[in-house]
Chains A and B, each alone.
Chain A
Amino acid sequence: GAGVSQSPRYKVAKRGQDVALRCDPISGHVSLFWYQQALGQGPEFLTYFQNEAQLDKSGLPSDRFFAERPEGSVSTLKIQRTQQEDSAVYLCASSLKRDTYNEQFFGPGTRLTVL
Protein backbone atom coordinates (compact mmCIF):
# COMPACT_ATOMS: atom_id res chain seq x y z
CA GLY A 1 0.00 0.00 0.00
CA ALA A 2 0.88 3.64 -0.26
CA GLY A 3 1.08 4.40 3.44
CA VAL A 4 1.21 2.97 6.94
CA SER A 5 -1.90 0.98 7.78
CA GLN A 6 -3.24 0.00 11.18
CA SER A 7 -5.93 -2.37 12.28
CA PRO A 8 -8.37 -2.35 13.80
CA ARG A 9 -9.22 1.34 13.50
CA TYR A 10 -11.41 1.14 16.60
CA LYS A 11 -11.32 -1.30 19.49
CA VAL A 12 -13.56 -1.45 22.52
CA ALA A 13 -12.38 -3.69 25.34
CA LYS A 14 -13.72 -4.52 28.77
CA ARG A 15 -11.34 -3.83 31.62
CA GLY A 16 -9.08 -6.81 32.10
CA GLN A 17 -9.21 -8.02 28.50
CA ASP A 18 -6.13 -8.43 26.34
CA VAL A 19 -5.88 -6.55 23.03
CA ALA A 20 -3.58 -6.75 20.02
CA LEU A 21 -3.06 -3.83 17.65
CA ARG A 22 -1.47 -4.33 14.25
CA CYS A 23 0.75 -2.04 12.18
CA ASP A 24 1.74 -2.54 8.55
CA PRO A 25 4.58 -0.13 7.77
CA ILE A 26 5.49 1.19 4.35
CA SER A 27 7.23 -1.57 2.43
CA GLY A 28 10.99 -1.43 2.84
CA HIS A 29 10.97 0.88 5.84
CA VAL A 30 13.61 -0.13 8.33
CA SER A 31 12.41 1.75 11.40
CA LEU A 32 9.04 1.38 13.12
CA PHE A 33 7.68 3.35 16.05
CA TRP A 34 4.68 3.12 18.35
CA TYR A 35 3.24 6.22 20.02
CA GLN A 36 0.31 6.71 22.39
CA GLN A 37 -1.90 9.79 21.99
CA ALA A 38 -4.28 10.68 24.79
CA LEU A 39 -7.26 12.90 23.99
CA GLY A 40 -6.15 16.49 23.39
CA GLN A 41 -2.46 15.69 23.77
CA GLY A 42 0.53 15.15 21.53
CA PRO A 43 1.76 11.65 20.72
CA GLU A 44 4.06 10.08 23.31
CA PHE A 45 6.76 7.60 22.37
CA LEU A 46 6.29 3.98 23.41
CA THR A 47 8.84 1.86 21.57
CA TYR A 48 11.09 1.66 18.49
CA PHE A 49 12.24 -1.15 16.19
CA GLN A 50 15.03 -1.23 13.67
CA ASN A 51 14.14 -4.19 11.47
CA GLU A 52 13.21 -6.93 13.96
CA ALA A 53 15.29 -5.56 16.82
CA GLN A 54 13.52 -3.59 19.53
CA LEU A 55 16.12 -0.95 20.29
CA ASP A 56 14.16 1.29 22.66
CA LYS A 57 11.19 0.41 24.81
CA SER A 58 11.67 3.13 27.39
CA GLY A 59 8.21 4.60 26.77
CA LEU A 60 6.16 1.50 27.51
CA PRO A 61 4.11 2.48 30.59
CA SER A 62 4.07 -0.91 32.27
CA ASP A 63 4.93 -4.56 31.79
CA ARG A 64 1.39 -5.05 30.52
CA PHE A 65 2.53 -3.51 27.24
CA PHE A 66 4.48 -5.66 24.81
CA ALA A 67 5.49 -5.06 21.19
CA GLU A 68 7.05 -7.28 18.58
CA ARG A 69 8.17 -7.19 14.96
CA PRO A 70 9.38 -10.75 14.36
CA GLU A 71 10.14 -10.54 10.64
CA GLY A 72 11.11 -6.91 10.45
CA SER A 73 7.91 -5.76 8.75
CA VAL A 74 4.49 -6.04 10.45
CA SER A 75 4.42 -5.12 14.13
CA THR A 76 1.95 -5.91 16.88
CA LEU A 77 1.41 -3.96 20.09
CA LYS A 78 -0.20 -6.09 22.76
CA ILE A 79 -1.76 -4.79 25.95
CA GLN A 80 -2.60 -7.31 28.63
CA ARG A 81 -5.25 -6.86 31.31
CA THR A 82 -6.39 -3.51 29.90
CA GLN A 83 -7.17 -0.66 32.28
CA GLN A 84 -9.27 2.46 31.71
CA GLU A 85 -6.13 4.60 31.62
CA ASP A 86 -5.02 2.65 28.54
CA SER A 87 -7.80 4.35 26.54
CA ALA A 88 -6.05 6.38 23.84
CA VAL A 89 -5.18 6.42 20.16
CA TYR A 90 -2.21 4.20 19.36
CA LEU A 91 -0.19 5.47 16.43
CA CYS A 92 2.35 3.58 14.39
CA ALA A 93 4.99 5.31 12.27
CA SER A 94 7.71 4.06 9.97
CA SER A 95 10.78 5.57 8.38
CA LEU A 96 12.94 4.43 5.51
CA LYS A 97 16.34 4.52 7.08
CA ARG A 98 17.95 4.47 10.46
CA ASP A 99 19.17 8.05 10.39
CA THR A 100 18.13 10.44 13.09
CA TYR A 101 16.80 12.99 10.61
CA ASN A 102 14.61 10.56 8.79
CA GLU A 103 11.01 11.49 8.18
CA GLN A 104 8.47 9.43 10.13
CA PHE A 105 5.24 8.55 8.31
CA PHE A 106 2.27 7.92 10.57
CA GLY A 107 -0.66 5.59 10.18
CA PRO A 108 -4.27 6.60 11.01
CA GLY A 109 -4.09 5.07 14.48
CA THR A 110 -6.19 2.64 16.47
CA ARG A 111 -8.59 4.22 18.95
CA LEU A 112 -8.78 1.98 22.02
CA THR A 113 -11.60 2.46 24.49
CA VAL A 114 -11.49 0.46 27.71
CA LEU A 115 -14.80 0.25 29.54
Chain B
Amino acid sequence: SYVLTQPPSVSVAPGQTARITCGGNNIGSKSVHWYQQKPGQAPVLVVYDDSDRPSGIPERFSGSNSGNTATLTISRVEAGDEADYYCQVWDSSSDHPGVVFGGGTKLTVL
Protein backbone atom coordinates (compact mmCIF):
# COMPACT_ATOMS: atom_id res chain seq x y z
CA SER B 1 0.00 0.00 0.00
CA TYR B 2 1.04 3.58 -0.60
CA VAL B 3 2.81 5.33 2.28
CA LEU B 4 3.03 9.06 2.99
CA THR B 5 5.79 10.20 5.35
CA GLN B 6 5.64 13.46 7.30
CA PRO B 7 8.01 14.82 9.96
CA PRO B 8 6.38 14.49 13.40
CA SER B 9 7.03 18.11 14.28
CA VAL B 10 8.07 21.45 12.84
CA SER B 11 8.80 24.58 14.87
CA VAL B 12 8.90 28.14 13.61
CA ALA B 13 8.95 31.64 15.06
CA PRO B 14 6.08 34.02 14.39
CA GLY B 15 6.47 35.88 11.11
CA GLN B 16 8.76 33.23 9.65
CA THR B 17 8.01 30.61 7.01
CA ALA B 18 7.06 27.04 7.88
CA ARG B 19 7.55 24.21 5.43
CA ILE B 20 5.95 20.83 6.06
CA THR B 21 6.96 18.00 3.80
CA CYS B 22 5.10 14.88 2.70
CA GLY B 23 7.13 12.12 1.11
CA GLY B 24 5.82 9.36 -1.11
CA ASN B 25 6.98 7.25 -4.03
CA ASN B 26 6.55 9.43 -7.14
CA ILE B 27 4.07 11.59 -5.26
CA GLY B 28 4.55 14.21 -7.94
CA SER B 29 2.28 12.13 -10.16
CA LYS B 30 -0.58 12.36 -7.66
CA SER B 31 -2.78 15.19 -6.45
CA VAL B 32 -1.93 16.09 -2.85
CA HIS B 33 -4.29 17.67 -0.36
CA TRP B 34 -3.48 19.24 3.00
CA TYR B 35 -5.57 19.57 6.16
CA GLN B 36 -5.19 21.64 9.30
CA GLN B 37 -6.55 20.25 12.55
CA LYS B 38 -6.67 22.15 15.81
CA PRO B 39 -7.26 20.37 19.15
CA GLY B 40 -10.82 19.19 19.58
CA GLN B 41 -11.84 20.24 16.08
CA ALA B 42 -12.49 18.50 12.78
CA PRO B 43 -9.86 18.80 10.03
CA VAL B 44 -10.06 21.72 7.63
CA LEU B 45 -8.93 21.54 4.02
CA VAL B 46 -6.28 24.23 3.44
CA VAL B 47 -4.73 23.19 0.12
CA TYR B 48 -6.04 20.82 -2.56
CA ASP B 49 -4.71 19.55 -5.87
CA ASP B 50 -1.14 20.32 -4.80
CA SER B 51 -1.47 24.10 -4.72
CA ASP B 52 -5.06 25.33 -4.85
CA ARG B 53 -6.70 27.03 -1.88
CA PRO B 54 -10.33 26.69 -0.85
CA SER B 55 -12.22 29.93 -0.43
CA GLY B 56 -11.53 31.52 2.94
CA ILE B 57 -8.03 30.09 3.31
CA PRO B 58 -5.39 32.83 3.53
CA GLU B 59 -2.89 33.27 0.70
CA ARG B 60 -0.19 32.57 3.30
CA PHE B 61 -0.94 28.87 2.74
CA SER B 62 0.56 27.41 -0.42
CA GLY B 63 1.61 24.05 -1.73
CA SER B 64 3.93 22.41 -4.21
CA ASN B 65 4.51 18.86 -5.40
CA SER B 66 7.33 17.34 -7.41
CA GLY B 67 9.26 14.11 -7.56
CA ASN B 68 8.96 12.27 -4.26
CA THR B 69 8.04 15.24 -2.05
CA ALA B 70 5.06 17.51 -1.61
CA THR B 71 5.39 20.62 0.55
CA LEU B 72 2.94 22.79 2.43
CA THR B 73 4.35 26.28 2.96
CA ILE B 74 2.92 28.69 5.49
CA SER B 75 4.28 32.22 5.14
CA ARG B 76 4.28 34.85 7.86
CA VAL B 77 3.31 32.27 10.45
CA GLU B 78 0.89 33.38 13.15
CA ALA B 79 0.16 31.90 16.56
CA GLY B 80 -3.20 30.76 15.25
CA ASP B 81 -1.49 28.49 12.71
CA GLU B 82 -0.34 26.18 15.49
CA ALA B 83 -2.04 22.87 14.69
CA ASP B 84 -1.56 19.39 13.28
CA TYR B 85 -1.22 19.20 9.49
CA TYR B 86 -1.96 16.14 7.37
CA CYS B 87 -1.24 15.42 3.73
CA GLN B 88 -3.51 13.12 1.74
CA VAL B 89 -3.74 11.46 -1.65
CA TRP B 90 -6.04 9.06 -3.45
CA ASP B 91 -4.11 5.87 -4.21
CA SER B 92 -5.51 3.99 -7.16
CA SER B 93 -2.54 1.69 -7.56
CA SER B 94 -3.09 -0.85 -4.79
CA ASP B 95 -5.43 -3.81 -4.34
CA HIS B 96 -7.55 -1.57 -2.14
CA PRO B 97 -7.75 1.82 -3.85
CA GLY B 98 -8.62 4.62 -1.50
CA VAL B 99 -7.59 7.58 0.58
CA VAL B 100 -4.16 7.64 2.19
CA PHE B 101 -3.17 10.10 4.93
CA GLY B 102 0.27 11.01 6.12
CA GLY B 103 1.02 10.52 9.79
CA GLY B 104 0.64 14.23 10.55
CA THR B 105 2.98 17.04 11.54
CA LYS B 106 2.56 19.14 14.65
CA LEU B 107 3.39 22.75 13.89
CA THR B 108 4.61 24.66 16.93
CA VAL B 109 4.81 28.44 16.83
CA LEU B 110 7.61 29.46 19.17
Does A pair with B?
no
